[in-house]
Amino acid sequence: NLMQASGPRELALSMAGIHHAFGKRDVVKGVDLEVAPGEVVCLLGPSGCGKTTLLRIAAGLESLQQGRVVLDGQEVARPGGNTLPPEKRSVGLAFQDSALFPHLSVLENVTFGLKRLPGRERRRRALALLEQLGMAAHADSYPHMLSGGQQQRVALARALAPEPQLMLLDEPFSSLDARLRDQIRDDTLHVLKKVGAATLLVTHDPEEAMFMADRIALMCDGRIIQMGTPRELYCTPNDPFVVSFFGEVNELSGVVRDGVISTPVGNVEAGWLADGCEARVMVRPEALQVAVLDAPRESHRYSHVVMAKLLGRTSLLHICAHGPDGEEAHVHARMPGVFLPAEGQPVTLRLDPSQVFVFPSLAAAGPG
Ligand code: ATP
């Protein structure tokens, strides 16, 4: 029998020690994950890292092979044993391609899961949700009369209507074009927070995760690499994978001497690494502050601009950087606004240390 599990605090979802394989292929390799009531947690990671599989296990759409799943204090599955079916779990599901019932109106789609409520209450609740998602005017429309974004909103309202303990959303915005997506993300987050729904949301888009999440679980190859607030992952990444997943990064290397690594773009503090240690230095393009140098003192040894492009809110610069000892590196810098020095223009570089991350290189981390 499935048992009532008691924890120190009631979590909306607790998954522990989850392993999952398809055939001989391990897809989830030991994941622990908790979602507190009212919290939005994003499962973020590249395609194929196991996000959807985890979500499906939580929903009961995938059998539990190993580990423990507790929904709102109730153990809902045993490995190889009893499983509470998806429709008996208090979860709301909305997937990328969540199809609406084509023969039902928008209102009927949203009231579909509310059969146990009296008719008037059913209608009141559905209309309130449609209102919050800007769809009240379309209550009597049929799905084929709606745009993709409108259908997405209705699918979300349908999932929210039964007031589930937990919302499970798998790439719910990915079929929308960029401008519409921002608007619907905004509305969705507003509604999730207003109704206080605990949410587990799958996305491969770091910006979406940072916008939606109270906490992000960044996955790679079946494991959670780092779990924390968007700020923790962005500002204090614990692994090179975390740094590179949040955007382009310049990869440099160097050796620690007296607590400092000298690189072509400047010195980097690394006092926490042993002297002589080889290190990987990851420099975000926005870490490089570029200044035009009018009269280079040593004309043969300066950093210079290779290419400058205006991207809109920022300018992207390709720079050939020269270090004090003659070492050279090709790096990308990103400056706010319109900053377009000419090709060949000598420049100086300053490093913002908060956007530079140092890790011992693999060879140095190994034994010996
Ligand atoms: P995506 O963003 O592409 O959906 P994901 O991180 O959600 O990726 P999953 O969908 O969980 O990844 O898939 C993880 C791996 O398991 C993938 O390589 C996928 O091909 C494989 N996989 C998923 N479902 C099955 C299945 N039913 N049978 C066999 N392999 C599967």
Beta-strand relationship, 166-170 and 198-203: parallel
Domain limit, last residue, from 201, 225, 243 = 243
CB 296 within 8 A of CB 341: no
- Does any ligand 1 atom lie closer than 6 A to the CB of residue 210? no
Domain limit, last residue, from 243, 271, 295 = 243
Q: Is the dihedral of CA 331, 335, 337, 341 positive or negative?
A: negative
- Does any ligand 1 atom lie closer than 6 A to the CB of residue 46? no
- Does any ligand 1 atom lie closer than 6 A to the CB of residue 138? no
Residue 236 and residue 267 share a domain: no
CB 83 within 8 A of CB 64: yes
Number of domains present in the structure of the chain: 2
- CATH number, domain of 205, equals 3.40.50.300
- Does any ligand 1 atom lie closer than 6 A to the CB of residue 220? no
Task: Tell me the C-alpha distance between 227 and 354, whole Å.
Answer: 20
Q: Which of 26-35, 169-178, 236-245 has the lowest mean pLDDT?
A: 169-178
Give ipTM to 2 decimals. Answer: 0.95
Residue 193 and residue 72 share a domain: yes
The residue contributing the CA closest to ligand 1 atom 11 is 50
Residue 208 and residue 284 share a domain: no
Query: Which H or E run includes 9?
Result: none
103 pLDDT above the threshold of 90: yes
* Per-residue model confidence as pLDDT tens digits over 131-172: 988 899 999 999 999 988 888 889 989 998 988 889 999 998
Q: Which domain holds residue 319?
A: 248-365
Split at pLDDT 50, 70, 90, the class of 117 is confident
The verdict on residue 141 lying in a domain is: no
Q: Which residues pair with 215 in a beta bridge?
A: 41
pLDDT, position 8: 46
Split at pLDDT 50, 70, 90, the class of 248 is very high
Residue 334 and residue 193 share a domain: no
Round the average pLDDT of the chain to a whole number and report it: 90
Residue 261 and residue 348 share a domain: yes
Compute the distance from residue 213 Cα to the ligand 1 centre, in Å: 23
pLDDT, position 211: 97
CB 168 within 8 A of CB 155: no
* Per-residue model confidence as pLDDT tens digits over 295-326: 766 655 789 999 999 999 999 999 999 987 78
Domain limit, last residue, from 175, 208, 243 = 243
Residue 206 and residue 334 share a domain: no
- Does any ligand 1 atom lie closer than 6 A to the CB of residue 197? no
Residue 259 and residue 238 share a domain: no
pTM: 0.89
Compute the distance from residue 50 Cα to the ligand 1 centre, in Å: 6
> Could you please report the per-residue DSSP string of 192-233?
HHHHT-EEEEEES-HHHHHHH-SEEEEEETTEEEEEE-HHHH
Split at pLDDT 50, 70, 90, the class of 205 is very high
- Does any ligand 1 atom lie closer than 6 A to the CB of residue 165? no
- Does any ligand 1 atom lie closer than 6 A to the CB of residue 47? yes
* Per-residue model confidence as pLDDT tens digits over 262-296: 999 999 999 899 999 999 999 999 999 999 988 76
- Largest alpha-carbon pair distance within the chain? 83
233 pLDDT above the threshold of 60: yes
The residue contributing the CA closest to ligand 1 atom 9 is 50
Task: Tell me the C-alpha distance between 195 and 227, whole Å.
Answer: 25
* Per-residue model confidence as pLDDT tens digits over 24-37: 999 999 999 999 99
Residue 254 and residue 226 share a domain: no
CB 31 within 8 A of CB 15: yes
pLDDT, position 1: 47
Compute the distance from residue 27 Cα to the ligand 1 centre, in Å: 7
